Chains A and B, each alone.
Chain A
Amino acid sequence: MHDALTLEKAAPVSLSARLWSGGHHANRLLRGLLLPALVLSGAEIAARYGWIESRLLPPPSAIALTLWQLAHDGLWKHIGASVARVAAGFVIGAILGLGFAVLVGLSRRVEELVDPTLQALRNVPSLAWVPLLLLWFGIDETPKITMIALGAFFPVYLNVVCGIQNVDRKLIEVGEIYGLNKFQLARRILLPAALPAVFTGLRTALGLAWMFLVAAELIAASQGLGYLLSDGRETSRPDIVIAAIFLIAVLGKTSDSLLHGIEVRSLRWRDTLETRKKRIRT
């Protein structure tokens, strides 16, 4: 493994070979950008030659221009509003999900009391909550953040409960031998052992938080990327709609990458395919 790496570095290689083989972080980034770059160039060429109607699908250059103009006209306000909502909703939902999961995972009594209800509620589609939330909270920030929190709650709850219940009994016995009480057992063994599941839950929750954000903002908002989407539709501006979609994709990916980075750092101890790949790369 080590030899292969040094050989690779020593040999004179073409640019394309380097793009595919190297373990360099920048190269990985380049490989990830390859597909979007191809699609965007294709769309641009197709629009130039009139193969697709730019009234329906504006070329990437037009969308870039729109983004540029929006940047001078309140785009930051929209992005700020959306990011703030996702952050607030995600944090609230994740904390509640984690809290409930720990209680349910630790106590059979609590599980019997709470879990059936939560399992039933998780089957309710997100949009079904909207009328109720609007009735209860009006149309200001509260219903939006509540909805995002709801979306973030369930994946965290489900994954962490599952993670705690699947902790190896053999490790728990070690804790028992050392006379750990229930609280110490949770803090020192169950939670660390369930950490991979916590991160799975958090990352799913973050994805759903963006989804619920758009749903909430489409329905009632005067700010935010979801508002930009519906505004673009109402004013027949597909470039604005696509620009908003693009921004949501970029923000979603960026936030997920941040979380993934934390996950990789926190789970370095794991002996899995993923950590092996990481070790070979660096």
Chain B
Amino acid sequence: MSHLDIHVATKKFADKPVLSNIHLSVAQGEVVSLIGASGCGKSTLLRIVSGLEHDYTGSVTLDGEKLSGISPHIGFIFQEPRLFPWLNVAQNIAFNATSVTDSDARVTQLLAEMGLTGLEKALPKQLSGGQAQRVAIARGLFIHPKVLLLDEPFSAVDAFTRIRLQDLLAHVAQLHRITIILVTHDVDEAVFLSDRVVVIGNQPGTVVADLKMDLASPRERESTALLAQRASVFAALHSAHIV
């Protein structure tokens, strides 16, 4: 029995099958990237794991327990920060304060980890895109989730901010030993961050390749080992006719 087991027999939207026959086992602390063509069902798969989507056949099991609906052990980071504009940064991070003891200390700690110290009183409208997404990640981590799901979290920020946020996420993943499933369309991002890159392809979507990234950590972006892994991911994408 592994840490997180995802099985989707079929998922349909109005009789149109979107996902079929997916089996994924994720180990505790593992970072898994999902890549694949746009519209192949990556977001849908992530939403199934999060419990936002319940109309499917299959099951999601976390530490031996079958999940039905939303779980407090699973955090979700969306493509956009989705901060509550009427709450300041600290209030946004502590949105779920009821389930965390000593919420103030937790907020201070997360602000420091995310490089947001001094911004606790700022309103979302005063933040840059990168800062807002860091607040969103802090909010996701606030509840001490076992699993963090991220759906193209850095696709809306500029290239430099994206690199900084990737470094931050790599750091956070190490620090908290948290299991991460990351949807991305950026192969470099997938290779740099992940222990495994899972390629979703076909119609309806299914797993067409599952590649282990055997790389030493901390990773260097331009190391030959990393570039070799990158080539293997591109080869898989080619043979699945995704690129």
Contact = CB atoms under 8 A, between A and B. Distances in A.
A96 interface: no
Contacts of A176: 52, 70
A182 B92 CA distance: 20
Contacts of B87: 269
A174 B82 contact: yes
Interface string A5-36: 00000000000000000000000000000000
Nearest to A177: B76
B88 to A, nearest CB: 8
Interface string B47-84: 00010100000000000000000101001101010101
A108 interface: no
- Of A176, A177, A178, A270, which is in contact with the most chain B CB atoms at under 10 Å from its CB? A177
B123 interface: yes
Given A178-B95, A189-B84, A192-B84, A173 B52 contact: yes
Contacts of B76: 177
Given A170-B78, A170-B80, A177-B70, A269 B52 contact: no
A270 to B, nearest CB: 7
Contacts of B70: 176-179
Contact of B86 (A174, A195, A275): A195
A3 interface: no
B93 to A, nearest CB: 12
A234 interface: no
B65 to A, nearest CB: 16
B125 interface: yes
A112 interface: no
Interface string A268-279: 111100010000
Interface majority SS on A: helix, strand, loop or mixed?
A: helix
Nearest to A168: B82
Contact of B84 (A171, A177, A271, A275): A171
A188 B96 CA distance: 11
A166 to B, nearest CB: 14
B39 interface: no
Contacts of A188: 95
B85 interface: yes
A174 to B, nearest CB: 5
A61 B65 CA distance: 84
Nearest to A272: B125
B125 A269 contact: yes
A270 B85 CA distance: 7
Interface in A171-201: 171, 173-174, 176-179, 188-189, 192-193, 195
Contact of B72 (A173, A174, A179): A179
A166 B70 CA distance: 24
A130 B92 CA distance: 49
Contacts of B82: 170-171, 173-174
A73 B130 CA distance: 66
Contacts of A271: 85, 125
19 contacts: A170-B78, A170-B82, A171-B84, A173-B52, A174-B78, A174-B82, A177-B75, A177-B76, A178-B70, A178-B95, A189-B84, A193-B84, A193-B86, A268-B123, A269-B86, A269-B87, A269-B125, A271-B125, A275-B125
Given A271-B125, A275-B125, 18 more contacts: A170-B80, A170-B82, A173-B78, A173-B82, A174-B78, A174-B95, A176-B70, A177-B50, A178-B96, A179-B70, A188-B95, A189-B84, A192-B86, A269-B87, A269-B123, A269-B124, A269-B125, A270-B85
Interface of A: 170-171, 173-174, 176-179, 188-189, 192-193, 195, 268-271, 275
Interface of B: 50, 52, 70, 72, 75-76, 78, 80, 82, 84-87, 95-96, 123-125, 143
